[in-house]
Amino acid sequence: MAKTILIVDDSASVRQVVSIALKGAGYEVITGNDGKDALTKLNGQRIHLIISDVNMPNMDGITFVAEAKKLPAYKFTPIIMLTTESQEDKKRQAQAAGAKAWVTKPFQPEQMLSAVAKLVQP
d(CA 23, CA 76): 23
- Minimum distance of other proteins from residue 100's CB (angstroms): 4
Least separation in angstroms between CB 66 and other proteins: 14
Chain residues that interact with other proteins, rule: CB under 8 A: 10-14, 16-18, 20, 53, 55-57, 75-79, 82, 84-87, 95, 98, 100-102, 105-109, 111, 117-121
Bridge-partner residues for 5, per DSSP? 29, 49
CB 44 to other proteins: min, Å: 20
What are the distances in angstroms from CA 3 to CA 10, 12, 75? 23, 22, 17
Which lies closer to other proteins via its Cβ, residue 2 or residue 12?
12
Inter-residue contact 65 to 52 (CB < 8 Å): yes
